[in-house]
Amino acid sequence: MIYPDLEMEIPQSLGRVHFVGIGGSGMSGIARMMHEAGVPVTGSDRSASYTTEALERLGVRVSIGHDAANVGDADTLVVTGALWQDNPEYQYALAHGLPVLHRSHALAWLARRGRLMAVAGAHGKTTSTGMLVTGLIGVGADPSFVNGGVIESLGVSSGSGSGELFVIEADESDKSFLLYDTAVALVTNVDPEHLDFYGSREAFMQAFVDFALGARELLVISADDPGTREVLAALAAAEDGRPRPTIRTFGEREGADVRIVAIDDSGPVKFTVEVEGERYSSQLAVYGRHNAVNAVGALAVLTGLGYEPGAALEAISQFGGTKRRFEFHAEVGGVRVYDDYAHHPTEVAALLDSARAVVDEGRLIAIHQPHLFSRTSMFHREFAQVLEQGADHTVVLEVDGAREDPVAGVTGELVSNDFADASKVAYVDDWQRAADYLAEFARPGDVMITMSCGTVYRIIPQVVEALRGRFERS
């Protein structure tokens, strides 16, 4: 993995820019905005995807596969943190003295002239950012933005607006969220993770304290989450002389500045929220109690900026979801197939709880791809617990190691072995066998959900084809 240099001075002019790993949701959004701003952009990725194809349609040259020759006449290299150190394009740039920017540096370069609004947290960042962008557009603010996922109603993960606000999803995994000159910060929750990078829980929590203190104008933060309450306590106790932003809290907890007083999550989620003594009700197009909380976080930001609560909530309610967040893909033989980015036990539990609203009389079948050897080693028991409690049956695939080297003994079987009831889980280390198993196991009315921030969404065509083989051709 390549970590950002937080002390690096970002060049004013980048010249021709080559993106290594351009197909990632965040990287593609940054590349798209640079291209639209007139910066000559090229890129490469290990495989083609809808994001690389979308960039090519805009006129960006994208090479599939990594090779030093792809760098061409680029003046600056932009890399994703998930890159291996031995990547030939990265090594070529080092050998030839080309400036190498981490993705977060490129994002900071894009946002340097805007009034920056950064969304951070262990879970819910992409959805909250999408809701915030949707809400701001709805009240006429016309922000620029870079999100970690495609906003369905807009069809893009990034966009250049005419307003002063620039909204980003800020990544805490490598401390890069501390790079930005943040005016307004939204913190959804603080659930300690990425300890392989931070080294300790204390260092992780301190990074969020520093992020919160870095907000020059406004900090909007969850009143419900134990981690955010710990951050708030640290802010109150800090005696470093740094100025404090205006703090606004949101959630279900008594005393929250923007407080949820009722939630109905039996379908697309409905809720009532209280702002300064007045109550407002809304229904979203998405499912799940957690999305009511995400929406109220966005509402706390908009009202903190001075927008009228009713109009702001109406604008936020137009949010229609983001790609890879409970995204519907197909229905075959009465079996519906969805995909989601959930990759932490807390996220998986929230996803499965939300999915129950669409299952009806069928069964909820989870297709879990563990992501990273370090995360699997740390959380395999917790994954097993939430999957066993929340799903009727789970298929566990092999670990997607992404940027990490394999670790002996750390496989998907660690998760399946921790199920108390072995009949509720199957560990299948081959995708085609997994697809065939799922098709044979399925019956009309079932809902299947792939879940991981890795490559698991790519199994969906195999699952759909196997379902067709059983239900349509028989």
Please state, as a whole number, how many other Cβ atoms lie within 10 Å of the Cβ of residue 345. 19
Residues 242, 255: Cα–Cα separation, whole Å: 26
* Token pair in block for residue 109: 């370069």
Active site residues: 125-126, 169
Distance linking the first and last C-alpha atoms of the chain:
47
